[in-house]
Structure 1
Amino acid sequence: MSSTSAAAKRPGHRCRTALVLVAVAAAVAACGTSGAAPPGAEIVSRPTGAPNPSPGATQGAQVHGGAAAGLSADAPRPRASSDAAPTRAAGPPQQTITARDGTVLTATVVVPPVPGRYPLAVIPAAWGFPNTVFDVQAKELSARGYVVLTYNTRGFFSSGGTVDVSGPRDVSDVSDVISWALAHTPADPARVGVAGLSYGGGIALLAAAADARVRTVASLSGWTDFGYSLYAADTRHKAALDLLTSLLQKTGRSGADFTTFLDDYNGLRNMPSVLAWAKARSAGSLLDAVNRHHPAVFMAAAYGDNFFAPNPQIDFFTGLTGPKSLQLAPGDHGTNEIGGLLGIPNGEWSSAWDWFDRGLRPGSPSAAAHAPAAVRLTTDGGGVETYPTWAAATRSTTTLRLGPAPLGTGDLSPTAATGSWSTSIRSGTDTTANAGTVLITKALQGISHLPPTLRLDSVDRRDGAVWQAPPTPLPQRIRGIPTLRLSLTPNVDTGTVVAYLYATSPTGDSTLLSKAVHTYLGAKPGQPQAATLAFDPVATDVLTGCHLSLVIDTKDDLYLDMDRAGGTVAFGSPSAQPSQLSVPLG
């Protein structure tokens, strides 16, 4: 059962033809505490004559009780740091933390001003960004009553070593940072959380699998399957690769293993080794370990994330057995969280910190309130819906067959003809159908709730084929992950097909709902093959009089396609296994 806000009942944006952008300016005021202990604090009282641990102690987690305090057996203690302990006097102090392999990490620590025992929040920096971009959120979280430690991941900025790409050294660094904080700050070893954005979000989930001390996790625009992000459907994702390499060149230092990975990935060589390397950096492959440790996990993602698609994150979330919360909203990679880093009130960060409070501050208002719904969806129209599970968002599925398209345009309906028909397009030439500009198109959609429009008559039918469903007589609520089963016949051994799902208004304007891709390798020219394409998740309403449209071409700037010169690909719909679009309905 879902609950829907009034915003979801507004007149449908799908049939609108004007794009309206709303700019929201917000001022953030910070307030301090004085006198009584701030939220989250527990005044520590010790027996007379008991030792009083100094914040500058250098005995690792033993200061707070060693293994008895929650140090897992697989988390060796870091070397002692010679730095002074963080002070409460002025501003977030800079620290250096020496990891177990001798690599020095640079960090910022914010400690509440009143003596006491506080929950700990560790925030690894995002890929290619310094930890200081989290200063606003660190201040916000500390004001709630947390010791907050943000740090530059190894290989970036002033931290030492080379970039480990969320590998075993990055994961052990989280444990070493936790141990350092327990030794040098008034952090409570029984109340430890790790949060991160993008790269840091992926590391946070991996840390929960490796270190039993991590009781709460928040992963925002993170990932759970690194291989899927880089090579889903046998397709190299150019946008994800560009993100990795461009930021690394500017702010980081690459290690030999990552250089080898990039060389193999670019050259499409040794892909089993590449995927094994990526799997070791994926929390999805460590789900059993996460469940054994039973942390409370919060995840936030954008439907249209062009770097870390949310599909495997949904699978990971579904497999979690502990407390969990998933939020999905329109947008692209990190675009829903960026405002919070700039000091603008932000729902994703607020939800993450409320989740921290539920798990790490038992007396907080968030802990006392009713538990949030497991799944929270913001629709393309701006409405908010909640569900007990991801599966509950989809109540039924409608199946639309691809019909004959002799001139490049065909019917999309439950009764479309199957059989011997075939429609062919050229490979390697783009059409006007595309997924937009990375980090721009979906970000604007997230703000305006009005995606950009396309005229289907602008799609060159030599390079793309179009199928259109009849107008819907009633509003159609699409909730879930659409899939497309295709029968395709190429005339060359390799190629790529890209599918776009649109909602088309009575005036002919089409707005992009989702995209999917598939690359065929080692095909036998002239022989049909089956392919199943999974779209990005969708939460939108197609209004009365509008209809679904499907466009298939062979090129998009998001991907490194495998199209060959002179290539063509034909689509058909054999009776035994029709080409069809499965649409999840809510």
Structure 2
Amino acid sequence: MYPAAFSLHPELDATALAAFAAALESGDLAGLPPARAAEVEAVRDVAVFSRGKVAGTGGDLLDAALWRHTGPEPRPVVVMPASWTQLGWVLYAVQASVFAARGYDVLAYTARGFAASEGQVDAAGPLDVADGSRALDHLLERTAGPVTRVGILGHSYGSGIALLVAAHDSRVDAVAALSAWGDLGEVFYENSTTRASAVQALYAAAARARLSRRTERVLENVLAGRETGETLRWAEQRSPLSHVKELNRRHVPVFLSHAWHETLFPVNQTLETFNELTGPKRLDLSLGDHAGPEATGLLGLPNRIWTDAHRWFDHHLRDIGNGIADEGQVLAEVMWSRTLEPHPTWHALTRRTRRLHLTGGGELADLPEPGWTAGVVCGVDTPARVADALVRSGYAELAGRPKVYPTGDIDRAVAAVWASAPARETTRLRGTPRLRVTYRAANPGSSFVAYLLDLAPDGSARLVSHAPYSDLGSAPDSLISADLDLQATAYDVPPGHRVMLVVTGRDPFYGDANLPRATLAFTSPDPTPSYLDLPLA
């Protein structure tokens, strides 16, 4: 499904980053844009840059780069584990230089099994956690003066490693985890549904890496639908959510960033981790998809997320009163106005909930209506799908070109559709939409995907949120009540638009537990009525 050169960072210019890193080492600025050349000069004026190796766990050497000041002044340090990419530490060449120019000593390194680092990919397992501490040892041994405080920053794959290292290494004083994951089990399975495209993308992006046999077997098992229990136990150890208590015990300040329409690491599992944290914390939520909101910053362009990551470390590692501690725990970018809304906590986003009931006439109504049935034929693709291309679709959103859904082309024989009355004023959705729906499946094993859409008067729609659901244990012909959270959102539905709910039996993004041409019969009996809860500002 994915080419061997598939990247989780499609917009990054690897050549430009490599040229920047080469200029850091040689001082030759020829060919660099003026802004990048100025950054190289700025950091070389105050710090010494060198490439080298970190002695990782078991003697495996990890490819690394060091930005080091020679003066004896006390200073903070930052460790930066790299992403799930063959770019390795070069991904951070620009941003590490920014840290160094601001007075930090920095070590960026390539995770084991990728690019020029030895060993095999442990997928943020114990070896990667130990490697992070070894990298910190390496940096501390080479810092000329006293070290005041320690930060660790990771992007994508590196974000999980950063959180896990911070949980297990008491020397870490603050964390920044960008495009982070919290629960790896939910990255693989969402509401018991295999997130097949996400796992295929991880596999494809590691085509040139050296996966450990255990890591490879886990990815194969997820795609094959076997040994789920073993996979979840493996994932639990690698999930920051499982280690939140260690972070909370020391009140480690944690900065997280994420995208609303993230297809690789769904937003709710990161949100759950954020809500479990009890120390200083901040969550930045943006338009786009995995790694996209931070991409311009990696290339050295203005980027609010990277700016706030620097501010976070400046405040918690250098005691700079830059105001970030007073701006609220959550900064939410609203679709599609791109308005930035600060909130004191996550729960403050939602002021009230409006319940709309699913009816037999295809309406989302204020009152329940029992006794109807809406059949969905399984195994057929529809225009309603999560994304045309994992990760890449989110870059189109960032560019102001969100996917348009032609709702008139959705076959009502293979999808159940409900819509609200037109909104009289802007409907400000803020928080986590929730769906309860009752259905009957003739066969054991069933699944569906629910999409929440913003329906314009011309029949076109845009995706607000979605979620899959699978029931794998009910007896044939059982009446199943499915309760599920759709992915959290901050979305303004304009006046005259409708909220539309579409439910289908198949989306190529997910695994499919239905038998071919099976039918799901949705209904709303009195004891378990079907409804949609909308979170409102």
What's the TM-score, normalizing by structure 2?
A: 0.89
2:68 counterpart residue number: 111
Matches within 5 A, 1:472-511: 472-511=423-462
1:288 counterpart residue number: 245
Secondary structure at the aligned position of 2:279 is classed as coil
Amino acid at match of 1:104: L
After TM superposition, give the deviation of residue 506 of structure 1 in Å: 2.1
Alignment equivalent of 2:107, drawn from 149, 173, 176: 149
Please say if residues 262 and 288 of structure 2, whose CA atoms lie closer than 8 Å, have aligned partners that are also in contact: yes
Alignment equivalent of 2:39, drawn from 25, 30, 36: 30
Higher alpha-carbon deviation: 324-333 or 99-108: 99-108
> What is the distance in 2 between the residues matched to 1:144 and 1:461?
59
Instruction: Work out which of the two has the higher radius of gyration on C-alpha atoms and give 1 or 2.
Output: 1
Secondary structure at the aligned position of 2:464 is classed as strand
> What is the distance in 2 between the residues matched to 1:26 and 1:483?
50
Amino acid at match of 1:514: S
2:393 counterpart residue number: 441
1:373 counterpart residue number: 328
Deviations 1:448-488 (A, max 9, x none): 1x532223211011111110101112221100010111111
Please say if residues 152 and 174 of structure 2, whose CA atoms lie closer than 8 Å, have aligned partners that are also in contact: yes
Amino acid at match of 1:498: V
Matches within 5 A, 1:127-166: 127-129=84-86, 130-166=88-124
> What is the distance in 1 between the residues matched to 2:146 and 2:468?
47
> What is the distance in 2 between the residues matched to 1:486 and 1:245?
34
> What is the distance in 2 between the residues matched to 1:33 and 1:523?
64
> What is the distance in 1 between the residues matched to 2:124 and 2:438?
38
Amino acid at match of 2:278: T
> What is the distance in 1 between the residues matched to 2:311 and 2:79?
16
Please say if residues 427 and 495 of structure 1, whose CA atoms lie closer than 8 Å, have aligned partners that are also in contact: no
Secondary structure at the aligned position of 2:372 is classed as strand
> What is the distance in 2 between the residues matched to 1:234 and 1:294?
33
After TM superposition, give the deviation of residue 560 of structure 1 in Å: 1.9
Deviations 1:276-330 (A, max 9, x none): 1000000101111111122111000001111111212212212211111111011
2:352 counterpart residue number: 396
Deviations 1:485-510 (A, max 9, x none): 11111122123201111111222221
Deviations 1:541-571 (A, max 9, x none): 1122111001111222221222212311110
Please say if residues 329 and 446 of structure 1, whose CA atoms lie closer than 8 Å, have aligned partners that are also in contact: no
Please say if residues 469 and 549 of structure 1, whose CA atoms lie closer than 8 Å, have aligned partners that are also in contact: yes
What's the TM-score, normalizing by structure 1?
A: 0.82
Secondary structure at the aligned position of 2:222 is classed as helix
1:319 counterpart residue number: 276
Deviations 1:94-120 (A, max 9, x none): 111112421211110112465533211
- The structure, 1 or 2, with the larger RCO (C-alpha pairs under 8 Å, 6+ apart) is 1
Deviations 1:124-167 (A, max 9, x none): 01012311111011111111111111101111111111110000
Please say if residues 189 and 213 of structure 1, whose CA atoms lie closer than 8 Å, have aligned partners that are also in contact: no
Gaps of 5+ in 2: 1-32
1:210 counterpart residue number: 168
Please say if residues 438 and 530 of structure 2, whose CA atoms lie closer than 8 Å, have aligned partners that are also in contact: yes
Secondary structure at the aligned position of 1:101 is classed as helix
Please say if residues 95 and 107 of structure 1, whose CA atoms lie closer than 8 Å, have aligned partners that are also in contact: yes
Secondary structure at the aligned position of 1:325 is classed as strand
Secondary structure at the aligned position of 1:245 is classed as helix
> What is the distance in 2 between the residues matched to 1:113 and 1:32?
16
Amino acid at match of 2:247: V
Do residues 579 (structure 1) and 537 (structure 2) align?
no
Q: Percent identity?
A: 34
> What is the distance in 2 between the residues matched to 1:233 and 1:513?
19
Secondary structure at the aligned position of 1:423 is classed as strand
The RMSD of aligned alpha carbons is 2.0
Please say if residues 43 and 97 of structure 2, whose CA atoms lie closer than 8 Å, have aligned partners that are also in contact: no
After TM superposition, give the deviation of residue 424 of structure 1 in Å: 0.7
Amino acid at match of 1:273: E
Please say if residues 147 and 186 of structure 1, whose CA atoms lie closer than 8 Å, have aligned partners that are also in contact: no
Gaps of 5+ in 1: 1-24, 39-87
Amino acid at match of 2:471: Y
Higher alpha-carbon deviation: 424-433 or 264-273: 264-273
Do residues 570 (structure 1) and 521 (structure 2) align?
yes
Secondary structure at the aligned position of 1:431 is classed as coil
> What is the distance in 1 between the residues matched to 2:141 and 2:485?
47
> What is the distance in 2 between the residues matched to 1:349 and 1:513?
26
After TM superposition, give the deviation of residue 186 of structure 1 in Å: 2.9
After TM superposition, give the deviation of residue 265 of structure 1 in Å: 1.8
Do residues 383 (structure 1) and 334 (structure 2) align?
no
Please say if residues 237 and 560 of structure 1, whose CA atoms lie closer than 8 Å, have aligned partners that are also in contact: yes
> What is the distance in 1 between the residues matched to 2:325 and 2:473?
54
Matches within 5 A, 1:83-482: 88-89=47-48, 92-112=49-69, 114-129=71-86, 130-186=88-144, 188-250=146-208, 252-362=209-319, 364=320, 366=322, 371-380=326-335, 381-405=337-361, 410-418=362-370, 420-436=371-387, 437-448=389-400, 451-482=402-433
Amino acid at match of 2:281: K
Please say if residues 498 and 554 of structure 1, whose CA atoms lie closer than 8 Å, have aligned partners that are also in contact: yes
Equivalent pairs, count? 501
> What is the distance in 2 between the residues matched to 1:357 and 1:330?
26
Please say if residues 120 and 188 of structure 1, whose CA atoms lie closer than 8 Å, have aligned partners that are also in contact: no
Q: Residue 568 and residue 159 in structure 1: after superposition, are their counterparts in 2 closer, same or farther (change >3 A)? A: same
